[in-house]
Amino acid sequence: MQEPGRIALITGASSGIGEAFARQLAAGGWQLILVARRLDRLEKIGREIADQGLPSPRVLIADLTEEAALAMVEQLIRDEGSLELLVNNAGFGMSGYFTKIDYEKHLQMIQLHVIASVRLTHAALPAMISRKRGAIINVSSVAAFVPWGNVTYNATKAYLVTFSEALSAELRQKGVRIQALCPGYTTTEFHDTPELGRLRSYPLPRWLWFTPEKVVRESIKALAQNKIICIPGFTYKVVAGLGRNGLTSPLLRYFVIRFKK
């Protein structure tokens, strides 16, 4: 995706899929604005990109579950005016039954996955529409197509898919591309929390795990092809299809609930 001099803003850019987006876009000459909570990680990524002779990224520390931080990033996007790509990647996971998880965590997840993505998208679109050029990638999950597992996580990711599909239809004649990126298991720090760490030890086949670099390559390729939904990997395309099919979804649900126990 060679786009020298153009500006991209990536949330959740300090690790995993967000970091992979930063490195691959930087290699294409993009000028980056990297947003995350961890200054040390952002500065390290920025130095490594600059050391390759590439444009040095701007870094912004912000926890998008907090109103003041979200408003700051929102205003930055409006003031920038020339943003060509927004990657709404910031997110987190949790495991367990709905009533067993503190409701504040559910609200934080909705704030980060849904509210922040909607507000940043709303801030970015006017300038993109006026230029008839730009793109927004909302990082969802294959879990969006499988409504069993973690209630709020799956629901927020499903929102991002529907949001992206509907927005893409609305912007069809405006020159702005929208994508919902829906990866399956990806080897990132996402699964390093105590809640999700058991997935690391569970005997899942190695071929079910994708690297963030591969996920991002698939996303960038799909964006160039104007694909609204990007599901990296044939296996996960099948999972999404089974989850949406009324005949096969009960079987898939059985295995998901069994694993959850």
**The residue count for the chain:** 261
Tokens representing 82?
A: 């020339």
The residues near 57 (Cβ < 8 Å, ≥ 6 apart) are 22, 26, 31, 32, 33, 34, 42, 45, 46, 49, 50
User: Where does the pLDDT of residue 2 fall: very low under 50, low under 70, confident under 90, or very high at 90 and above?
Assistant: low
Tokens representing 212?
A: 């963030």
Residue 194 three-state SS: coil
Q: What is the pLDDT of residues 173-216, one digit of tens each?
A: 999 999 999 998 888 665 455 554 555 555 556 657 889 999 99
Measure the CA–CA gap between 141 and 82, rounded to whole angstroms. 28
Sheet with 58-61, edge to edge strand ranges: 58-61, 31-36, 7-11, 83-88, 134-139, 176-181, 229-230
Tokens representing 252?
A: 């898939």
Name the pairing type of β-strands 7-11 and 31-36.
parallel
* Mean pLDDT on 126-151: 92
pLDDT, residue 110, reads: 98
Q: Which residues pair with 85 in a beta bridge?
A: 8, 135
pLDDT, residue 239, reads: 84
Instruction: Give the CA radius of gyration of the chain.
Output: 18
* Mean pLDDT on 212-232: 97
Q: What is the pLDDT of residues 66-124, one digit of tens each?
A: 999 999 999 999 999 899 999 999 999 988 889 999 999 999 999 999 999 999 999 99
Q: What is the pLDDT of residues 16-53, one digit of tens each?
A: 999 999 999 999 999 999 999 999 999 999 999 999 99
pLDDT, residue 14, reads: 94
pLDDT, residue 241, reads: 84
Measure the CA–CA gap between 162 and 251, rounded to whole angstroms. 24
User: Where does the pLDDT of residue 236 fall: very low under 50, low under 70, confident under 90, or very high at 90 and above?
Assistant: confident
Q: Cβ(86)–Cβ(136) under 8 Å?
A: yes
User: Where does the pLDDT of residue 242 fall: very low under 50, low under 70, confident under 90, or very high at 90 and above?
Assistant: confident
All structural domains of the chain: 7-260 (3.40.50.720)
For every residue of 16-66, which 3-state class applies, written as one string?
Answer: HHHHHHHHHHHHCCCEEEEEECCHHHHHHHHHHHHCCCCCCCEEEECCCCC
Neighbours of 38 (CB within 10 A): 14
Measure the CA–CA gap between 153 and 223, rounded to whole angstroms. 24
Is 202 an annotated catalytic residue? no
Q: Is the pLDDT of residue 254 over 60?
A: no
Measure the CA–CA gap between 10 and 90, rounded to whole angstroms. 8
pLDDT, residue 132, reads: 96
User: Where does the pLDDT of residue 260 fall: very low under 50, low under 70, confident under 90, or very high at 90 and above?
Assistant: very low
Q: Which of 97, 103, 153, 254 is catalytic?
A: 153
pLDDT, residue 210, reads: 86
Q: What is the pLDDT of residues 102-117, one digit of tens each?
A: 999 999 999 999 999 9
Q: C-alpha angle with apex 95: 243 to 118, nearest 5 degrees?
A: 70
